Amino acid sequence: MYRTMVTARLIDEASFRLNRQGKAPFVVPVSGHEGCQVGTGWPLRPGHDIWVPYYRDVAIVLIAGMTPYEIFLGLFAKAEDPSSGGRQMPSHWGSRRLGIISHSSPIATQVPHAAGIAWAARYRGEDTVVGCWFGEGATSEGDWHEGLNFAGIHKLPVVFVCENNRYAISVAQPLQMAIQNVADRASGYGFPGVVVDGNDVLACYAAMKTAVDRARAGDGPTLIEAKTYRYFPHTSDDDDRSYRTREEVEEAKHNDPIARFAQTLKDQGVMDAPTIDAVWAETKADVDAQIDQAWNAADPDPVTLGRHVYLERDGM
Amino acid sequence: MTEKNVVTAIHDTLHDEMAADDRVVVLGEDIATRGGVFRVTQGFLDEFGERRVIDTPLAEGGIIGIAVGMALHGLLPVAEIEFADFIHPAYDQMVSEVSRMRYRSNGDFGLPMVVRAPWGGGVHGALYHSQSIEATYGHIPGIKVVVPGTPYDASGMLRAAIKDPDPVLFLEHKRTYRLIKGDVPDEPFEVPIGKADVKREGDDLTAIAYGLSLHLCLEAAARLQEERGVSVEVVDVRTISPLDKDTILASVVKTGKALVVYEDNRTYGAGAEIAATIAEEALFDLDAPVARIGGPDVPAMGFATNLEHAFMPNADTVAERMLELARF
């Protein structure tokens, strides 16, 4: 878990570095969300359960099985980008092989998909659980309501995870909703809503484990609200100085989920400081090597522009 | 062969496909207990059960979004939008998700799903139960849009739509539901999506239409033949997207004259694309300018009988325009 959190952070830092170098036109950062993503992604079973992420979920797709190399293929819009072959903006994940459902840029449109997948999984007699992630801004959308409502009515095997970082781009939570906790909305759908410290990876894990077990047992959905913070602007094209003070951002970093987890690991005697340092060094070397490999991969061929509008047959 | 009306043909085909393949599920408002406001899914709940015949909450975006999820996970959903007029809340799902899933994933994901929607006027539906939506979605690559006008085509094209690996918007003209009858084979058959059909052969001009307008053209053509000796070929478009240009152009090249009839607002309607295609690709075979009959460019038809009639094309105006064109 710790290594995955570190990987996500280093992918982020490298991506912004590449953005400043002019090699990556667009970056969607994850930093600050590693705890809630790794905690809520970990209880699902890669290769079996279904992942319905949104664009900030670098750590979620790492857990699902996407490699940093594949993530950088997307960042550089390369032909072999597993999500879209360079068609979509970076961080618009998807891989049928890995059970990561392709998503778009409009917010919360993936939420009814998660409910539909959960219906199909139960109909087919599977014990699949669907994980669905989004930000707090998504909870204002009609699609979000419609997805949770349907899942609640039919007690579907799906867990909804809100990564609440208090800002939907620039709009702060008090202008997004009149309530303190997104989790309160769950009562309107007839299933539990749980608030968890999104910077405490183990607390997120525990909440998700309970929710996944409940879903797999046929007891229906859970809405988990993981309260967290994003350290970078919304994207590389955003300037968060217009809506957040530097003091607020620096204050939030005192709650860095990676630093907190490292402290826990040291306190519990699981890892010592040199081991933790080694994880960072190894991961950085690994990530950097995969950047180079991805950078050198082939670009998409413009003649493929017209492909895959419909299913291609007869060797087309 | 059995003679059926359009709505019975759709009911029977959907029923047979559900019986033949347990991946087919239907979902929508009032479709289970009520059997659908037009009775298309009458009796399905009792026969196939609540896991396959799903009364959804009143939320069109959710209906389409949930169908997307089902299609992503091995099912073949047939979603019903109660009236085409109510599909607008689902526009984002249709355009951002349904049409783009295969393209945006570079072919990794596909959506084998059907969205059925009753459309069109002539039933006192007024502003919100009469709309034509085919041009809106015909403009969106990635979704196939079909508009069968006869019981035979409705049956064969619905079967083709369910078996299609890509999303199909299946539009059923409400006025044709019980008005139009015809023979339908008792054995399963398909009518290919993307193929127009010459419903009546003729030499003097070509009328191109779909849905209820097809029948107005057929009626007008029969009348002109009998009363004036004018021979009109009538092409049923059947599929709005992808448009079968070849069949349309072949007929226009043969007759040298084209009249496009559609019920939607004239401006930017599907008939505009058909007229543009003819102008672009058959100009030197034309003996007259391409003619169009479409609805007036007002937001919708009215409820009052005379307001509704004033909006919709009818066989008289179609025959008149055909005659003008024949004499040109």
Over the stretch B213-264, which tens digit does the pLDDT of each residue have? 999 999 999 999 999 999 999 999 999 999 999 999 999 999 999 999 999 9
Q: Under 8 Å CB-to-CB from A226, ≥6 apart: which residues?
A: A35, A36, A39, A40, A161, A162, A163, A164, A196, A197, A198, A204, A207
**Considering only CB atoms, which chain A residues are within 8 Å of B100?**
104
Which of A104, A114, A117 faces B100 most closely, judged by CB atoms? Answer: A104
Integer Cα distance of A96 and A81 in angstroms:
13
Per-residue model confidence (pLDDT) at position A315 = 47
- Does domain A2-306 bear CATH number 3.20.10.10? no
- Measure A123 CA to nearest chain B CA, in Å: 7
Tell whether the torsion through CA atoms of A248, A250, A254 and A260 is positive or negative: positive
pLDDT band at A314 (very low <50, low <70, confident <90, very high): low
Angle at A153 between CA A148 and CA A155, to 5 degrees: 85
Domain boundaries, chain A: 2-306
Q: Do A312 and B107 touch (CB under 8 A)?
A: yes
Which domains, from first to last, does chain B contain?
2-184 (3.40.50.970), 197-327 (3.40.50.920)
Whole-angstrom CA distances from B277 to A204, A276, B283 are 58, 67, 9
Asked if A65 and A4 count as a contact pair (C-beta separation under 8 A), the reply is no
- Measure A188 CA to nearest chain B CA, in Å: 14
- Measure B128 CA to nearest chain A CA, in Å: 21
Q: Which residue of A has its CA nearest to B166?
A: A310
Q: Which residue of A has its CA nearest to B89?
A: A142
Mutate to test the interface with A, among B48, B64, B108 (most CBs of A within 10 A): B108
Q: Do B65 and A115 touch (CB under 8 A)?
A: yes
Integer Cα distance of B67 and A305 in angstroms:
27
Phi and psi torsions of B233, nearest 5°? -90, 135
Q: Which residue of B has its CA nearest to A87?
A: B104
Active site residues of B: 129
Angle between helices B270-281 and B245-255 (to 10 degrees): 60
Structure letter (DSSP) for residue B127: G
In the structure encoding, which two tokens stand for residue B172, read together?
Answer: 């059923």
**Considering only CB atoms, which chain A residues are within 8 Å of B65?**
109, 111-113, 115-116, 143, 146-147
In the structure encoding, which two tokens stand for residue A127, read together?
Answer: 């014990």
pLDDT in tens, A243-265: 999 999 999 999 999 999 999 99
pLDDT band at A268 (very low <50, low <70, confident <90, very high): very high
Active site residues of A: 230, 234, 243
Whole-angstrom CA distances from B213 to B77, B237, B270 are 29, 11, 13
Which of A82, A96, A309 faces B103 most closely, judged by CB atoms? Answer: A309
Instruction: Give the residue from A112, A100, A113 showing the smallest Cα distance to A48.
Output: A100
The DSSP H or E segment spanning A194 is strand A193-197
pLDDT in tens, A86-109: 999 999 999 999 999 999 999 999
CB atoms within 10 A of CB A93: 28
DSSP characters over B61-80: HHHHHHHHHHHHTT-EEEEE
Q: How far apart are the first and last CA of chain A?
A: 43
Alpha helices in chain B (DSSP H): 6-20, 44-48, 60-72, 91-92, 101-104, 134-138, 151-163, 176-179, 212-228, 245-255, 270-281, 305-311, 315-327
pLDDT in tens, A189-225: 999 999 999 999 999 999 999 999 999 999 999 999 9
Q: Do B72 and A143 touch (CB under 8 A)?
A: no
The DSSP H or E segment spanning B146 is strand B144-146
Reported ipTM: the value is 0.97
